[in-house]
């Protein structure tokens, strides 16, 4: 056991005291892990759009003060009662969703939507006792999606930790704990393009580029990137994108443009924007008879998907995915191995690095649309 096991650890954390205001570096107390919990020393974390969305508190119940962060890599410091498959020193990636291994979803080969540990953005406390493990001078600080990685130490349910190869560089593979795996898995696990097929990717942010990377790994012959921002096209070439469509450049619907380019439609499409019009276009641009469209982006709560039933009767398939259909504990270690075997390139997703003390710069980069992923080094 570590020398700090069972004790409260005081460490630095970047606390969001209110919506949209810069994070404040604070000394926080991190309580020991309870049953089925693990305390993790975070070494590297990254900023994802989901953190920014909930930090801005636009359109959902605000919960502050809170410690955000959910893309990270760290080392197990101590484990709570009942934890048998992790021990101090193990290298782990915390994941915003979990795998209890007991529920119907976890026992199904087809689902990764665990009943117990599925993402819950409203919950700011631990499942075990309904309390936070973070406090400042006795005041509880809320958790975020069960991970809260903008802290030098955090407490996570064991089911939300993927144990990975200790040789894997945490400053690179930390990006696999959310967006990159989501896009990659949407292509590899759900769209499943055959070698030589045509694939359209809607939205060329980090998730869309990860979906393109999946198409590249699959051996797609043409990867068509669709985005309203033409500045993204050069970057996308590094991820295997071969052609580009900006809907603003055409006076006809984008699905018709793509159908003309591909003799009737693409074999597969992956939508990574959250725009309902992009979702409809992604579905309507696939070829009849065998085309498959996969939705990844999260829509606004009042959105409705509309298409003519003949589009489905003509043998097009519409699918959705959550976290790329990866089960966090069972599958993410093998995605890390894809990187270790040089099948998957992660360096090109990482465009900035900042020390923990300058975490607000990472927010500035993302809000300005600069780059893809910013790595935050905790002990810099």
The CA–CA distances, whole Å, from 77 to 10, 99, 122, 126, 316 equal 13, 21, 27, 18, 49
50 noted as active-site residue: yes
Closest CA to 173 of 50, 296, 329, 340: 340
User: CA-to-CA distance for 246 and 361, rounded, in angstroms?
Assistant: 30
Q: Of 49, 235, 242, 358, which residue is the catalytic one?
A: 49
Q: Of 26, 37, 66, 70, which residue is the catalytic one?
A: 70
Q: Of 45, 50, 149, 262, which residue is the catalytic one?
A: 50
- Which residues make beta-bridge pairs with 226? 202, 245
End-to-end CA gap in the chain? 26
187 noted as active-site residue: no
178 noted as active-site residue: yes
Q: Of 99, 100, 147, 154, which residue is the catalytic one?
A: 100
232 noted as active-site residue: no
What DSSP element (H or E) covers 73? strand 71-79
Q: Of 106, 160, 272, 374, which residue is the catalytic one?
A: 106
Q: Of 39, 45, 48, 216, which residue is the catalytic one?
A: 48
272 noted as active-site residue: no
48 noted as active-site residue: yes
Q: Of 4, 103, 235, 358, which residue is the catalytic one?
A: 103
3-class DSSP string for 291-360: CEEEECCCCCCCCCCCCCHHHHHCCCEEEECCHHHCCHHHHHHHHHHHHHCCCCCCHHHEEEEEEHHHHH
11 noted as active-site residue: no
174 noted as active-site residue: no
Q: Of 114, 174, 272, 285, which residue is the catalytic one?
A: 114
160 noted as active-site residue: no
Q: Which residues of 285-301 are buried (b: 16+ CB within 10 A; e: fewer)?
A: bbbeeebbbbbbbeeee
Q: Of 26, 37, 66, 71, which residue is the catalytic one?
A: 71
100 noted as active-site residue: yes
71 noted as active-site residue: yes
373 noted as active-site residue: yes
User: CA-to-CA distance for 123 and 377, rounded, in angstroms?
Assistant: 27
Q: Of 118, 121, 317, 364, which residue is the catalytic one?
A: 118
Q: Give pairs for 231-240: CB < 8 Å, separation 24+.
A: 232/204, 232/205, 233/204, 235/204, 235/209, 235/372, 236/204, 236/209, 236/212, 238/348, 239/209, 239/210, 239/212, 239/213, 239/348, 240/212, 240/213, 240/215, 240/216
Q: Of 174, 178, 285, 374, which residue is the catalytic one?
A: 178
Whether cis (ω within 30° of 0) applies to the bond prior to 65 is yes
Active site residues: 48-50, 70-71, 100, 103, 106, 114, 118, 178, 373
């Amino acid at each position: 056991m570590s020398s700090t096991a069972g004790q409260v650890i005081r460490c630095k954390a970047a606390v969001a005291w209110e919506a949209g205001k810069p994070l404040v570096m604070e000394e926080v107390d991190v309580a020991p892990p309870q049953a089925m919990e693990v305390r993790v020393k975070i070494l590297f974390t990254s900023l994802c759009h989901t953190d920014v969305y909930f930090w801005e508190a636009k359109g959902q119940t605000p919960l502050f003060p809170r410690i955000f962060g959910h893309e990270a890599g760290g080392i197990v410091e101590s484990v709570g009662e009942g934890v048998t498959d992790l021990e101090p020193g193990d290298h782990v990636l915390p994941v915003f969703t979990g795998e209890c291994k007991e529920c119907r979803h976890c026992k199904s080969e087809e689902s990764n939507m665990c009943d117990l540990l599925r993402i819950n953005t409203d919950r700011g406390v631990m499942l075990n006792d309904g309390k936070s493990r973070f406090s400042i001078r006795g005041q509880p600080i809320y958790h975020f999606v069960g991970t809260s990685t903008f802290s030098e130490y955090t407490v996570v349910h064991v089911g939300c930790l993927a144990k990975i190869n200790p040789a894997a560089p945490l400053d690179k593979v930390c990006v696999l704990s959310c967006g990159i795996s989501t896009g990659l898995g949407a292509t590899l696990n759900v769209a499943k393009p055959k070698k030589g097929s045509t694939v359209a990717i809607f939205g060329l942010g980090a998730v869309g580029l990860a979906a393109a990377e999946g198409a590249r790994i699959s051996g797609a012959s043409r990867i068509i990137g669709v985005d309203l921002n033409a500045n993204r096209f050069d970057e996308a070439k590094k991820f295997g994108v071969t052609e580009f469509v900006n809907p603003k450049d055409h006076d006809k619907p984008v699905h018709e443009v793509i159908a003309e380019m591909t003799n009737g439609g693409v074999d597969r499409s992956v939508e990574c924007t959250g725009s309902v019009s992009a979702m409809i276009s992604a579905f309507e641009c696939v070829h009849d008879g065998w085309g498959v469209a996969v939705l990844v982006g999260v829509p606004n709560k009042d959105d409705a998907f509309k298409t003519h039933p003949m589009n489905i009767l003509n043998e097009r398939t519409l699918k959705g995915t959550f976290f790329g259909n990866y089960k966090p504990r069972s599958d993410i270690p093998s995605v890390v191995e894809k990187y270790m075997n040089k099948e998957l390139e992660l360096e090109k997703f990482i465009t900035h690095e900042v020390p923990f003390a300058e975490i607000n710069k990472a927010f500035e980069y993302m809000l300005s649309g600069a780059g893809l992923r910013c790595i935050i080094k905790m002990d810099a």
